[in-house]
Structure 1
Amino acid sequence: MNINSNTVVSITYELHTTTPEGQQVFVEKANEENPLVFLFGVGMMLPKFEEHLQGLKAGDEYSFELSPAEGYGEIDPAAHVDLPIDMFKEAGGDLPSVGDVIPLQDNQGNHFRAGVTGVHEEYISVDLNHPMAGKNLIFSGKILTVREATAEELSHGHAHGADGHSGH
């Protein structure tokens, strides 16, 4: 069976990015013991990632590179904000440190993460860009399984494991 909309795909992958000097940097991987399993064609994955996998079948290997525009976008210099330090003090616990990734929520209740770039007397500076923004994403791996999604998976909008029986 080939990968198409409404199929459940199980894959291995390695993800690398490149430094400005062209050196590849390892980011993460999924192996055969702990594969990435997802419902294809429902918007859970990057569109260009899925485009490169469409039509492949179990046993096929793949390797491709996504530009920043095809991945998580270019770095937006305006996506840096200063948050009042009081909002962190009111939450209790320790103040974040430079390099920490902190959970935030906007006025509409949307959750996201931000990287702390500065800790000052009256405010905390954060970068709201995705950590992979501005980076080329280099993927390689193998298609392990492809199967039709179950009616329950389609109604839930996500895969219930490689066999269709894992889940919630």
Structure 2
Amino acid sequence: MEETKNRFMSVVYQLYSIKDGKSELEEQTGDERPFEFITGFSVALDAFEAKVKGLEKGSDFDFQLTPAEAFGEYIAEGVHKVGREVFTVNGHFDHENIFEGAVITLMDNEDHQFMAKVAKIEEDGVTVDTNHPLAGKTLNFKGRVIENREATEEEIQHLIKHMTGGCSGGCSGCGDHHDGCGCGDHDCGCGDHDHHHHHDGGCGCGHCH
């Protein structure tokens, strides 16, 4: 297949994580809601894109990505404890959105957004894990290419507009839902609850949900 930088791709897949010899289904897409992306914009994991962009429409695929090719190794230093005041709204702790197991969006001191999972809530602070949920795991993608064609200028411009929207546009694209497990950024669902809390130092100075 002729290779061009910007190809519109639509794929369906099942994603399995493999760790310690055990395989676990993490995510799957279907024909009614395939994962769609344009190559060359880092919407998908580079290694995922490299594996599928040369496949013809209708082709099946089954491949593995190492942690280094996917979301990296699990880093213990990615776990931080921050003050409860970071998650206070109008003087009250945000119990509705901040609970153990919740995936939230934090913002560092340079206004860079990143995802974190609430690991523990205690009286003296909240422990958050900034590692990707699939960090340290080998990924196995099994699926089929539904579409692979040159992207139109309109599609490219629409993607660029979406990618540059930022959190001011309702947090569109700031999330990291397994990213098509790494295959793309999805909305974090900030919606009408788009707000930030700031504090000095630490791993994050705000959250939006």
Q: Judge same fold: TM > 0.5, yes or no.
A: yes
- Equivalence for 1:10: 10
Letter matched to residue 40 of structure 1: T
Structure 1 unaligned blocks of 5 or more: 161-168
Describe how 1:20-39 pairs up with structure 2 within 5 A: 20=20, 22-39=21-38
Amino acid at match of 1:67: T
TM-score calculated relative to the size of structure 2: 0.69
The answer on 1:151 being equivalent to 2:153 is yes
User: Partner of 1:164 in structure 2?
Assistant: none
Identity %: 34
Q: Tell me how far apart the structure 2 counterparts of residues 147 and 139 of structure 1 sit (CA, whole Å).
A: 21
CA distance in 2, matches of 1:105, 1:69: 25
Is the CA contact (8 Å cut-off) linking 1:118 and 1:124 kept in structure 2?
A: yes
Question: More relative contact order in 1 or in 2 (CA 8 Å, sep 6+)?
Answer: 1
Contact 1:5 1:42 in 2 (8 A): no
What corresponds to 1:65 in structure 2?
64
Tell me the matched-pair count: 159
Amino acid at match of 1:80: V
**Conserved 8 A contact 2:83-2:124:** yes
- Specify the SS of the correspondent of 1:50: helix
Measured against aligned partners, the alpha-carbon deviations of 1:91-130 in whole angstroms (never above 9, x if no partner) come to 6431733222222112222222211122121110111111
The CA distance in 2 between the partners of 1:48 and 1:7, in whole Å, is 16
CA distance in 2, matches of 1:15, 1:61: 14
Query: After the TM superposition, which segments of 4 or more aligned residues of structure 1 sit over 6 Å from their partners?
Result: none
TM-score for the superposition, normalised by structure 1 = 0.85
Q: For residue 153 of structure 1, report the CA deviation from its aligned partner.
A: 2.5
RMSD: 2.2
Partner of 2:95, secondary structure, is coil
